[in-house]
Amino acid sequence: MGTGTFTSSVIDSNTNFTSRPPEFSIIPEPVSLLKTNGSFTLPDKVVVLATPEMKLVVDYLKEKLSVPTGKFIAEFAHTQATGTIRLVLNPRPDAALGNEGYQLSVTPTMIVIKANQPAGLFYGVQSLLQLFPKEIESKELVEGVTWKIPCVEVTDYPRVAWRGLMFDVARHFFTKQEVKQYIDAMVRYKFNLLHLHLTDDEGWRLEIKGLPKLTEVGAWNVKKVGDFGTFSTPGADEPRTYGGFYTQDDVRELIKYAKDRFVDILPEIDVPGHSLAAVVSYPELSCTPGAETYRVRSGERIMDWSKGAPPIALVDNTLCPANEKVYAFLDTVITQVAALFPFEYIHMGGDEAPINYWQKSDAIKALMAREGLKDIHQVQGYFEKRVQKIVESKGKKFMGWDEIMENDIPTSAAIMSWRSPKFGIEASRAKREVVMSPQGTNYLDLMQGDVTSESKVYNSVRLGKAYEFDPVPAGADPKYIKGGQGNLWAEQVYNIRQAEYMTWPRGYAIAESVWSPKEKKNWTNFASKVEQHFHRMDVAETKYSPAIYDPVIKASRTADRQVMVELTTEIDGLDIYYSFDNSTPDRFYPKYTEKVVIPKDANQMRVITYRGKQAIGRLLTISVDDLNKRAGKR
């Protein structure tokens, strides 16, 4: 089975999803699914029995069914004796289902979805839609499809309450319509939380009344393409017209759109680091003389990461903890954010704040003497505590990245654990609320295939690795784990199509990890479902990465220091063919069966995967120089 790093509780050696698709491909895997006798075929006139409090669910269901099928969908109250689809809110709540669980019953004559709350009905609808042929995802009428589904009994409810995706709209701006498009894809997989990263060095994306320069100046930079972080410094004559922001009315519209689909939106204002856009807009917020010469970052290098975290700042992208104007500024911002976003938390960042400019600041030194702060790290602790008080004074809960734990910040501060699971484990044991989003499994900006086929970044998370995510890791106190999420940072994500490509299918893996019971997770079964959802996304015109079909390429050295290449696949049923002679391999070329030594004068290796007689992976070309580097020193 490929690399050997993926495990499953049950592996049937005779099962090969490549030749026999699974009968049911619901993602995330339900708690319980029982196939019963017969099938249900959608009639020409579909009657939905519902009550007024189910309106959001009914409207969604009617649109999803009527557009691709062309069927007439009628809605009646429960006084009608019969109907095609019956939605029921349990008069006596079923404790096992909670607020988001559901029961789905499909018989030859009727579909019934029961839940305690409308959210549960909505998630029941998502599972129901996944039983239909893939064409149900079409945005236009599809002819010639028999709209038939198998009869089943499903009982389902989520493992954790917080099931999120973070969308970084600061590094590159995404329009209101594009954010809605992202939400539409999320809800198919029962995500209920969209974390919007609204501010960073590259842009401030939220209108704040009384602080117009945040969006007049801070929302715009110079358009650059290529490898982010290596761009030349923009010249004075290059137009700063790339970017954008959301008005407060835009945000209200997005919140309603999300809420109509049972999604909450968590706003993030990232401070005190990652704040260059704010500093450029209002230079008096900086500790550093000359900040008025700074410009919103366009992707040029502004940090030196060679010595690890915190980085050495080349420009001071921090707010000044010693400046009272900063806290007045943040009070204004947080007051409006709290009024705008109904969600109970406000995320205030706190990650990767460089300290080298603070170390040189007389104002910081005076603050340390006055407050008895022993080192620069306690300076950030002082800042975080003051910001937490502001957030809580507005009736909201304070959340930050796991770095904020490095000082004795009150335990009412919630933690988003990103550096590794251990920080989330520690936070839960300290009785802090925790959302798990460890970069090793959950960072959707990282490469998901070989570097030859991906935008190069510092690390990779293949689909199988993402599937290993456990939102309640061993050693954590489950009482304090709110849930988990995947994080899509957008430094190298220039448009919504790339955002989709980076999110899916790893988003499937995160979804199943936070919804399905741990014992129901099974890599072989999950991988078999992924391909069926690729077909569904093709119909929905949602982009995804096919990296699961590409081989994993490793290089090592033999005893006599020759380079030896090992090729594995994440999924079963694929054959790998290769060449060293600069030609394009197909299935008549050498088939990979064991580690291969690079021929003496070869300058590149080309590989491709096949399923039977059909090419399925991408053609990958790896230079011998690259393979030498992967193999390490001679």
Spatial distance between the Cα atoms of 37 and 362, rounded to a whole number of angstroms? 78
- Chain length of the chain: 634
Locate the DSSP E strands across 118-234.
Answer: 148-156, 162-168, 193-197, 199-200, 203-204, 220-221
Torsion, CA 594, CA 600, CA 603, CA 608, rounded to 10: -20
How far apart, in whole angstroms, are the C-alpha atoms of residue 448 and residue 465? 9
253 tagged catalytic:
no
Q: How far apart are CA 476 and CA 396, in angstroms?
A: 25
Q: Quick check: 168 and 200 in contact, CB under 8 A? A: yes
Q: What angle do CA 147, 150, 155 make, to 5 degrees?
A: 120
Q: Name residue, tokens 């989520």.
A: 158
Q: How far apart are CA 153 and CA 609, in angstroms?
A: 38
Which one of the listed residues 352, 392, 406, 566 is annotated catalytic? Answer: 352
Which residues, in sequence order, are CB contacts of 312 under 8 Å at separation 6+? 303, 304, 306, 354, 356
Given CA atoms 236, 237, 242, 243 in this order, what sign does their dihedral have? positive
Give the C-alpha distances (Å, rounded to integers) separating 292 from 10, 320, 631.
62, 14, 48
Nearest-5° angle of CA 243, CA 179, CA 231? 35
Task: Give the C-alpha separation, 82 to 76, whole Å.
Answer: 10
Which of 346, 73, 338 is closest to 195 using CA atoms? Answer: 346
What's the rounded Cα separation, in Å, for the pair 305 and 491?
Answer: 16
Residue 335's nearest CA partner among 256, 273, 392, 257 is 392
Tell me the DSSP string of 294-354. ----SSB--EE-TT-SSPEESS--S--TT-HHHHHHHHHHHHHHHHH--SSEEEEE--S--
Contact 628, 606 (CB under 8 A): no
Considering only CA atoms, which of 216, 331, 232, 225 is closest in space to residue 280?
216
Task: Please tell me the distance from the alpha carbon of residue 165 to that of residue 177, in angstroms, as a whole number.
Answer: 17
Distance CA 469, CA 507 (A): 11
The number of CA neighbours under 13 Å toward the Cβ of 514 is 29
The total of other beta-carbon atoms located within 10 Å of residue 210's CB is 9
Active site residues: 352
